[in-house]
Structure 1
């Protein structure tokens, strides 16, 4: 397979206010491999003020969904797009990307939808708001309390993306915005907008997201930023120079519009001083630098631009890189024997060449050459061979730390001490990603702590994680993607922290009963509900937050303590040694903490079969006062919150998790222990459950 034939001229349209807007005239895009016209894009005629107003109105439909409902929609959308991925791969090759490059973009992007769907279902409540942090007691008597809530911003998340990842760049912003309850208006970079548009067409056709949850602008952004309001926000990915201009846009500043920037940076990889040429880490470093140089033809905001090498290993590393890069085959990315494709455009190639010339004022080329081209057109296409430079005085040079060649180019920087290595990494003025290649833990610790303040993410690579690590330049949904200074000062991904960016944090102060009603999560001190029906005899649907049981009393005896010690083998002196216990901090023998939990279970459990199916876990255990022989305990069990569980493949019995607050008190009414119990409770089937006759997924 090759790209010798080109599809009919594409005319990617904008999707605004629920309609597709196409223009016959506009900017002509050329394919990166042969230089032939591939698409015409334009945003002429788009009313950006109306687009933002439409998004704000449409956002109400997203906000009416709970976190779990949004998560289910994202999961379904991920499956829908995965079934159509081959169409995206075909278009992606026109941008110069190999299938391996496109896998990161396409399936990595779709995988981000699955990741956020999973995180939201696992860690967020099935509500439209997110109780944040613990309840704070604000009054001495406990009648005045406060807690933070996170609620969706009632605006539009404007997402301006770079050209290098037209699918991942969109989906990694869309996922946390949608989970957070905000609609997205996506502005992809023109060079690869036709790939983004193809994915958006499928998203709209799927009908899985509420109308207005996603809008698309192909072409120029026009006066888009002029119409932003206080509830809107901007997420930008691209060059540091462009980020600096956009963040001081007069309307962005005047309305205090949140602006998150993830900018290209001069990322560094450090080969440890303790590494020898025969160590596994030496080969790992060489391969990682070569891979980061050639993946996406070096067009990654996280790519290694500076390779820091102990001075005595410069020659060995250069030889290793020369051998590794000699394996790289250049050409038509549709061919199976091609490992590196083209840059996104001839214009981009010329910008890289210009930067390469400027770098040579303080560094010399040590690896270059014109590889055999396997398909494609070297003049009309945007091909550039991998190039390695060596800067022999990196501590006094400026170019390697200021000039970024956004292509297959890296500069070797020799260093003599770990202190110098840290200084060199910081000369880049802030980076998205850094890596340290060493098996020496002390060396890794010194470098990590030295580099941490100027990086958003650090990888320590060695023989122990070589098989599983995802690489220097791979952002992960669970971890931070962003960095200080030149890297933009913002943050994307990072698990649920990216969802927080799209929400407003408000402190709510009230009495415990009112706060319980607002948050639908029991607050200590709130009124409880007690009736004749034991809480464990109620199904998930029947249980209400605040349902409570106050148990009978039980006096702790010496036999209880001795028997529990014999049963468990826990003969700690405070429980069984009369003399030792008197000399200890309690001044007497006390019951085992785990005996108290066990005894409490015996007090509140309803023994007969019923809707409670299993103990699902125990959390937040605290022992606050000792319980000795002759003390009497009593337990109050109160429904704290409810969490509906989806049916897993093969399951037929719908369930939910009920979280109970358990408080054990003594004969004086003083709290001796508190903890949360999770029980698995049967529930009725609902609209989100698959039909009974559905085949397992």
Structure 2
């Protein structure tokens, strides 16, 4: 195999490795595989390229434009999975490991594309939260908005996930409208570069939206300012060094860290050796020790079980580990490949020795294990090691030292309070899991230990068939954790996008706020439509367009007919004396849903037209009762519009139902799908 020259992509140009390059070695054979890095890079040119070209091009796109771009990019990368799997073998990754990395990264990008279309507007400003009424009459109001930061996001990624690590940061960054400079770990950057190259070749990204540094960042961090972001994944020591950079501190540069952590799994006290939960714990522990050869920031490092089950659990896990075939990851029979490098192997073995000083070895002699299809003395192979710590209260290293590989420690707990104390001795973790069928046990652990973890994963016989696994961060949910885990929150749906945006409070009149956000709000202008809004296409409707309809008098006969027709004979509608005894009603009143039906009858245009369907309503409030003899009117106002397909878009209408005195009796938001012209 020819030596790979890993290129950087700097300021729009591919730059090969030069005299300043570092060698990359195969994790399987130990042979020199690639060269990566440059002697010097023009960091200011990179920043200018991102800030002056990439940023403006991305910000010119709406959130939906960027979401569509992400979807197209993910689908394009899906065409090249096989070549990325093959290249990943050189990092020690099996096909299953490669799928976690590559398919997981592509899947994360697709989730963000979907969330961008469903949860963000087809505009350039994101409205964050509800409107705040800042004055008595409502002429002065406030709204939080979010807009893209106008700098660059610097992504510093770890070696263990060369594709997912890049894509899981890139998806929310690009959706936010911010360009990125990606710095992968050198040991596996040849895989990252191949994936990145396919992104550039796709032509789907604006010029300057992404750059790749295969090597050192030079003085890049010292050139960042308050509009920039650093997002880091790696060791706590490296994170501390980076976040302590005086320039970053002086300029309040956002720093997001996802660090190593001593994640743990707890077997609930309700489990027995013959229970499904016992088997689930064993399966989860073995999978987390061996997937990616234990090189996952979310892998289980500590396993806590009831005292009486220490022996049975240890025996069961050790028996499963004995069946794991270690070898060349390209072989179909291999269940666990190599660590990413010989340096990583040395580090794992050193950390395992520190931990084992407080433990017994139950499984995994580092010297006497077999490797299929490769020379274990040349490759970075390590046997999965299961240790047992009989006195976890006295132990120190077990709760402080992480062997970033296939090493886990089993320990007993006395009761759930003790289990919670042991969990928290990790001093902040990305994830803890609890295997239990007892909701009370889950609540106890949540109360005692949620504050020390970014994620709590509870699994049992009911959820096991669909549960994604202890070690699987999902783009929908927060990925990060307090304390040792770094204090960051990567991912988390739109929460992840907000890392790359500025939240700003805007204040002004309803017309001003509506003009900024592109969403009609109560109190803003409502021009009356010359024609019925339901007769106008999606494009013809303008924000604020309003139709007024009514009045219609509500009679006692209407109320009684509705009650008998629907079966809703609640006393407030049918019994005058009982209704008057209720502090909310003056006597018999109309059903709330009768008012909605009458409102629809007032504003609906019955003839076929651009309105294709009513898809629901939100925020329904009944504000004042309607008595027999009252007359209701309705105001229907275009609140916001969102394109959905090539044929139709969604219109959200503010609906206000008023009585004869002009008082609001009901309000809600109506959703319709409207055809384009």
TM-score (ref. length: structure 2): 0.98
**Structure 1: gaps of 5 or more residues:** 1-6, 648-653, 685-697
Q: 2 CA distance for matches of 1:285 and 1:24?
A: 49
Given the alignment of the two structures, is residue 9 of structure 1 paired with residue 29 of structure 2, yes or no?
no
Tell me which residue corresponds to 1:508. Answer: 506
The CA deviation at 1:552 is 1.9
Tell me which residue corresponds to 1:523. Answer: 521
Tell me which residue corresponds to 1:688. Answer: none
- Say if 1:11 and 1:24, in contact at 8 Å, map to a contact too: no
The CA deviation at 1:24 is 3.8
Tell me which residue corresponds to 1:593. Answer: 592
The CA deviation at 1:531 is 3.1
SS of residue paired to 2:656? strand
Q: 2 CA distance for matches of 1:639 and 1:147?
A: 19
Q: 1 CA distance for matches of 2:139 and 2:290?
A: 63
Tell me which residue corresponds to 2:393. Answer: 395
1:187 to 169, 183, 187: 183
Tell me which residue corresponds to 2:16. Answer: 22
The CA deviation at 1:532 is 2.3
1:279 to 267, 275, 278: 275
Given the alignment of the two structures, is residue 639 of structure 1 paired with residue 638 of structure 2, yes or no?
yes
- Say if 1:74 and 1:114, in contact at 8 Å, map to a contact too: yes
- Higher mean displacement: 46-55 or 233-242: 46-55
Tell me which residue corresponds to 2:409. Answer: 411
Deviations 1:599-620 (A, max 9, x none): 0011111111111111111110
Tell me which residue corresponds to 2:37. Answer: 42
- Say if 1:43 and 1:221, in contact at 8 Å, map to a contact too: no
Tell me which residue corresponds to 1:158. Answer: 154
Q: 1 CA distance for matches of 2:390 and 2:240?
A: 31
- Higher mean displacement: 633-642 or 39-48: 39-48
The CA deviation at 1:371 is 2.8
Tell me which residue corresponds to 1:475. Answer: 473
The CA deviation at 1:222 is 2.0
The CA deviation at 1:268 is 0.4
Q: How does 1:384-463 map to 2 (within 5 A)?
A: 384-463=382-461
Tell me which residue corresponds to 1:579. Answer: 577
Deviations 1:31-82 (A, max 9, x none): 0001111100113221112211211112110000000000111100011000
- Say if 2:40 and 2:218, in contact at 8 Å, map to a contact too: no
Tell me which residue corresponds to 1:538. Answer: 536
- Say if 1:329 and 1:371, in contact at 8 Å, map to a contact too: no
The CA deviation at 1:372 is 2.2
- Higher mean displacement: 298-307 or 444-453: 444-453
Tell me which residue corresponds to 2:603. Answer: 604
Q: 1 CA distance for matches of 2:39 and 2:667?
A: 63
Tell me which residue corresponds to 1:670. Answer: 663
Q: 2 CA distance for matches of 1:158 and 1:671?
A: 51
- Say if 2:18 and 2:38, in contact at 8 Å, map to a contact too: no
- Say if 2:550 and 2:633, in contact at 8 Å, map to a contact too: yes
Q: 2 CA distance for matches of 1:531 and 1:180?
A: 35
**Structure 2: gaps of 5 or more residues:** none
Q: How does 1:644-659 map to 2 (within 5 A)?
A: 644-647=643-646, 654-659=647-652
The CA deviation at 1:389 is 1.0
- Say if 2:18 and 2:39, in contact at 8 Å, map to a contact too: no
Tell me which residue corresponds to 1:613. Answer: 612
SS of residue paired to 1:277? coil
Tell me which residue corresponds to 2:320. Answer: 324
Q: 2 CA distance for matches of 1:683 and 1:290?
A: 55
Given the alignment of the two structures, is residue 201 of structure 1 paired with residue 193 of structure 2, yes or no?
no
The CA deviation at 1:249 is 0.6
The CA deviation at 1:486 is 0.1
Deviations 1:123-158 (A, max 9, x none): 110001101111111111211111111000000000
Q: 2 CA distance for matches of 1:158 and 1:333?
A: 32
Tell me which residue corresponds to 2:377. Answer: 379
Q: 1 CA distance for matches of 2:274 and 2:213?
A: 52
SS of residue paired to 1:32? coil
Q: 1 CA distance for matches of 2:413 and 2:504?
A: 49
Tell me which residue corresponds to 1:692. Answer: none
The CA deviation at 1:309 is 1.3
SS of residue paired to 1:562? helix
2:208 to 206, 209, 212: 212
1:113 to 109, 126, 139: 109
Q: 1 CA distance for matches of 2:169 and 2:291?
A: 22
Q: 1 CA distance for matches of 2:307 and 2:468?
A: 28
Q: 2 CA distance for matches of 1:495 and 1:563?
A: 47
Q: 1 CA distance for matches of 2:17 and 2:196?
A: 18
2:28 to 11, 19, 33: 33
Q: How does 1:484-503 map to 2 (within 5 A)?
A: 484-503=482-501
- Say if 1:35 and 1:377, in contact at 8 Å, map to a contact too: no
Deviations 1:210-235 (A, max 9, x none): 11111000012222211111100000
2:335 to 336, 339, 342: 339
- Higher mean displacement: 185-194 or 135-144: 135-144
Given the alignment of the two structures, is residue 304 of structure 1 paired with residue 303 of structure 2, yes or no?
no
May I ask how many residue pairs the two structures share in their alignment? 672
- Say if 1:547 and 1:639, in contact at 8 Å, map to a contact too: yes
Deviations 1:230-286 (A, max 9, x none): 100000000111111111111110100000000010000001112100101111101
Tell me which residue corresponds to 1:682. Answer: 675
Tell me which residue corresponds to 1:687. Answer: none
2:66 to 67, 70, 83: 70
Deviations 1:68-105 (A, max 9, x none): 00011110001100011111111100000000001010
- Higher mean displacement: 270-279 or 39-48: 39-48
Tell me which residue corresponds to 1:125. Answer: 121
Q: 2 CA distance for matches of 1:599 and 1:666?
A: 12
Q: 1 CA distance for matches of 2:343 and 2:529?
A: 75
The CA deviation at 1:476 is 0.3
- Higher mean displacement: 137-146 or 470-479: 137-146
Q: 2 CA distance for matches of 1:444 and 1:610?
A: 53
Q: 2 CA distance for matches of 1:566 and 1:168?
A: 59
SS of residue paired to 2:661? coil
Q: How does 1:221-300 map to 2 (within 5 A)?
A: 221-300=217-296
SS of residue paired to 2:91? coil
Given the alignment of the two structures, is residue 351 of structure 1 paired with residue 311 of structure 2, yes or no?
no
- Say if 1:623 and 1:672, in contact at 8 Å, map to a contact too: yes
The CA deviation at 1:560 is 0.7
- Say if 1:271 and 1:285, in contact at 8 Å, map to a contact too: yes
SS of residue paired to 1:148? strand
Tell me which residue corresponds to 2:86. Answer: 90
